[in-house]
Structure 1
Amino acid sequence: MNKLNTKETIVKETINLLKEEGSSGITMRKIAARCSITLSNLQYHYPDKSILLQTVAQYFCKKCEENIEEELKALTPKNKTEEKQFIKKLLEILLKYDDTSLESFVFREIWALSMRDEQLKSSLQKYYEDYNNKLINIVAVIKNSPEEIVSLLTPYAEGYSIIGKSIPLTKNKTIEMLEKIIQNFE
């Protein structure tokens, strides 16, 4: 196995272990065993668990960004009707609640780990800064106040990913409500 394949295998097995055992089940020894490599080989690629988890977080964040960009690239609003469709599609992408998906589970576990790991917390904050800047560029295509809209949407979407099934409105009603709010921005 070459160096790149080894690193990819380590990240994927860490993700699988997070899904199976949660953050409390993550140890460097378990990951090494799952990858059929020695602990010293694992530590050659990732000197400690924090660095490995930062890599896992970056991997997931990149996948999320790629998914959003892919889903939105077909939409380039040219008029008010298309602008409304664009906003609705953006909201549908951002407001996902799926407590069974691998992505949702791993993100929750990474956030939990980041509460005890300053490097991981810093890495996640950097990700959200970059993520918000990308969203600002996406929203700027249709609205003059993208910073305000993104400042509303990002925390709402993150919270929705955790408690979406618990709020009194359905997902469609929530999207309608947010569409109205966004339409009022200049």
Structure 2
Amino acid sequence: MQQTDAAVAQVPDLIMPERTSGYTKGHDTREMILRTALAILIDEGWHAMSMRRVAAACAIKLGNLTYHYPTREDLVRALLDAVTAAYEHEFDAFLRQEGLTPAQRLERYCTLVLDDIPALKTTRLFPELWALSNHDAFVHDRMHELYARARAPLNDIIADMRPDLARGICETLALFISFAMEGSTVFAGHGKPFTGQMGMIKQIALRGFADLVRDYRPAAC
């Protein structure tokens, strides 16, 4: 398979919602808080990301932090929203070009995800939160919301490629492709044993996903 000519996208760490009211300083403070919390999560893990730790790292008082994010849950919700927005922005930009076939959009979507796998943020942040989701219902729900939003463009691409399939089947194919890509993080993510083989893994994955979507036939009942 020959890749489309889109340049490899670099997913930003997070994108803040546009300021609709209030002072610019407050918006900047919220962004500083979220970037600091994200850095702590990546470098030190969930156990280190207490409200006091984030406030200290931002060089602000705890009361100033809780003014913007009253609870740790509020902080995590805002952080994951900003991280998800960054991916949604890149998916939109990567797929927006007119004239792309559904198959080309599938390749672009999967290329973006697979190229992001070896990033330090991706390797440390998402497995950390998925592990935590096994024991924390709040994080569990937020992670599934995040991934549902990230899969939405893939659901639509597969539906465009295979209009003969029921929407539920298209969504299951998208879910499988998401499983396959995200699972590579523990093997070929940043600093993992097979990071150097990610280029070949990506080639195999892109061809395999295209063949799967094009040729899939539901099993007869």
Task: Normalising by structure 2, report the TM-score.
Answer: 0.70
User: Which residue of structure 1 aligns with residue 77 of structure 2?
Assistant: 54
User: Which residue of structure 2 aligns with residue 89 of structure 1?
Assistant: 108
How far apart are residue 171 of structure 1 and its match? 2.1
Q: Which amino acid aligns with 2:107?
A: K
Does structure 2 conserve the Cα–Cα contact (< 8 Å) formed by 1:17 and 1:26?
A: yes
Counting only pairs closer than 5 Å after superposition, residues 12-31 of structure 1 correspond to structure 2 as 12-31=35-54
Give the secondary structure class of the aligned counterpart of 2:184.
Answer: helix
Q: Which amino acid aligns with 2:183?
A: G
Residues 27-54 of structure 1: CA deviation (Å, up to 9, x unaligned): 2111101111111221222222222122
Give the secondary structure class of the aligned counterpart of 1:116.
Answer: coil
Question: Is 2:128 the counterpart of 1:109?
Answer: yes
How far apart are residue 152 of structure 1 and its match? 1.9
The runs of at least 4 consecutive aligned structure 1 residues that moved more than 6 Å come to 166-169
Question: Is 2:183 the counterpart of 1:150?
Answer: no
RMSD: 2.6
> Which range is displaced more, 157-166 or 24-33?
157-166
Structure (1/2) with the larger helix percentage: 1
Unaligned runs of 5+ in 1: none
Distance 1:23 1:45, change over 3 A: same
Counting only pairs closer than 5 Å after superposition, residues 29-178 of structure 1 correspond to structure 2 as 29-74=52-97, 76-77=99-100, 82-96=101-115, 98-144=117-163, 145=165, 146-164=170-188, 165=194, 170-178=201-209
How far apart are residue 60 of structure 1 and its match? 1.0
- Match of residue 33, structure 2, among 1, 5, 10: 10
Question: Is 2:202 the counterpart of 1:183?
Answer: no
Task: Normalising by structure 1, report the TM-score.
Answer: 0.82
User: Which residue of structure 1 aligns with residue 4 of structure 2?
Assistant: none
How far apart are residue 57 of structure 1 and its match? 1.5
Unaligned runs of 5+ in 2: 1-23, 189-193
